[in-house]
Amino acid sequence: MEWSQVLGFTVVGALVTTTGTLIGLFLKEVLLSRSFEQWKLKQTLAQVSRKYREPIALSAVELCNRLTFICDNYPPDFLESGLLACKPGEPSLNSAADIHFRRYRLVSTVYRLCAFLGWVELYRQDTTYLDADDGSGGRVDRALFAVRSDLADGQLNEAQDWETWHDVLVFREEQRAIGESMIVTISGARTVMGYAEFSDQLTESLASSRAQWLHTAATFLLDPKATKDFRQVRMQRLVVHLVDLVEVLSKARLRNDHWAARERYKKVAASPAA
């Protein structure tokens, strides 16, 4: 065999070896690295989902329960703004008319709305730089989008005389600000403010930024009107979409009355003020 043939085989072998090495490096450094990054992202999303799934679901159920009662008894007498100025005091009557009880229901209703927005904001902050997948993460975000729309979108009222209706909007950035105002740090962990601290904050001077945002949430609920109050429709829509959200997060928390309320209000909210 001539030297030229030997050198040819050597060159071919070197090329094959080099090509194989490069392909191996490509698979290791690019494809495997990319797969690992995708796996880490999915693990992070799963961890965030597990962390907030139950708190968001529980706060959504509690808010849904109160909104259902309000819609069924609209306008309720415990959402009067004058009750905020009353000192809590002690219960004086074993009756729903008791001022202490009515004030409690008012403050706790505002708390349920604010606490829900607080957990949603914590979830949003932890997923800001994460891409939700097409699974439950994507469905959660779609359900949350619907809830935000119920509070923020003015075009939902399709009545021809919409300008004569009473309405209050809580815009998306305001919802985030309310949520931010509810976030506190306890033993190094971020969580949502408890009811006792919230009660104190709600009655603070509006010079406090936190109190201002809590009152923004309260304004959505305060002093409902007996006629042409579009907030009633917004609350009906909220019931529908809160049940949708809990169905994705923790379906076992839903009872028969939740499913019934969703069906009942879904028909009403379909054409809100036509």
* Max mean pLDDT range (125-129, 185-189, 239-243): 239-243
Q: Whole-number mean pLDDT of the chain? A: 83
User: What angle do helix axes 33-72 and 136-152 make, rounded to 10 degrees?
Assistant: 40
0.75 surpassed by pTM: yes
Q: Show the beta-strand stretches assigned E in the chain.
A: 183-186, 189-192
Q: What is the pLDDT of residue 86?
A: 79
Helical residues (DSSP H) of 88-208, grouped into ranges: 99-126, 136-152, 172-181, 195-202
Tens-place pLDDT, residues 65-74:
999 999 999 9
Calculate the alpha carbon distances from 105 to 60, 97, 150 in Å. Answer: 17, 11, 22
Cβ neighbors of 105 (< 8 A, separation 6 or more) are 76, 78
Classify residue 184 as exposed, middle or buried by CB count within 10 Å of its CB (0-12, 13-18, 19+).
middle
C-alpha closest to that of 144 among 179, 110, 109:
179
pLDDT above 70: residue 173: yes
Q: Round to whole Å and give the CA distance between 159 and 65.
A: 28
